[in-house]
């Protein structure tokens, strides 16, 4: 029997944090908040609305005190996400047009529709993976203090999204 490589608890926690970070940054803040002045002690727990869907709010970026290299990595991640969303929208539009053509054929075959969907999904997944790599490069450039600030923001967003999801589920 082959031995599977083991991970330390720390490594597993880091992987979970990175997964949450990727999700939080890609999904973005689902509820905009009003920007308010912050007290220094509470700065890590407060957030403001991001400048765009999936972007880290300017107030949180200010708390991170990024150096130019880190800022460039953050900008690259934000740019990659914007490009991905635009490309994904075009892929979905092309899929819709393709499905329209399939449905207008005299002998519709649902297997062709499934193949079209799989092709679209594969392209979207590949773009998503590429964006995650940009976010991970940004994460890797942060020091421990910056990571704590970012995780506090992510935790706050995760809780808000969970509450919003639960509220939608009740209706």
pLDDT in tens, the chain (171 residues): 444 444 433 443 444 444 445 444 444 433 333 333 333 333 433 444 444 556 889 999 999 999 999 999 999 999 999 999 999 999 999 999 999 999 999 999 999 999 999 999 999 999 999 999 999 999 999 999 999 999 999 999 999 999 998 999 886
Beta carbons within 8 Å of 106's beta carbon, 6+ residues apart: none
Measured CA to CA, the distance from residue 95 to residue 116 in angstroms comes to 7
Q: Please classify residue 50 by burial: count the beta carbons closer than 10 Å to its beta carbon, then call 0-12 exposed, 13-18 middle and 19+ buried.
A: buried
- Alpha helices in the chain, H assignment, sequence order: 9-27, 58-64, 68-104, 110-141, 144-170
Entry pTM: 0.65
Token pair listed for 42: 């509470």
- 129 within 8 A of 69, measured Cβ to Cβ: no
């Amino acid at each position: 029997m082959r031995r599977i490589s083991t991970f330390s608890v720390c490594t597993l926690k880091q992987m979970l944090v990175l997964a949450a970070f990727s999700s939080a940054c890609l999904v973005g803040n689902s509820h905009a908040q009003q920007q308010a002045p912050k007290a220094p002690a509470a700065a890590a727990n407060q957030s403001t609305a991001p400048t765009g869907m999936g972007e880290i709010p300017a107030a949180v970026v200010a708390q991170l005190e990024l150096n130019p290299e880190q800022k460039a990595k953050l900008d690259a991640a934000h740019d990659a996400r914007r490009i991905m969303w635009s490309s994904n929208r075009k892929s979905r539009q092309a899929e819709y047009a393709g499905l329209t053509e399939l449905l207008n054929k005299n002998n519709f075959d649902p297997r062709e529709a499934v193949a079209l969907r799989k092709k679209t999904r594969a392209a979207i997944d590949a773009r998503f993976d590429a964006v995650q790599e940009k976010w991970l490069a940004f994460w890797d450039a942060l020091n421990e203090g910056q990571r704590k600030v970012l995780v506090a923001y992510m935790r706050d967003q995760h809780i808000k999204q969970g509450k919003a999801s639960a509220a939608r589920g009740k209706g």
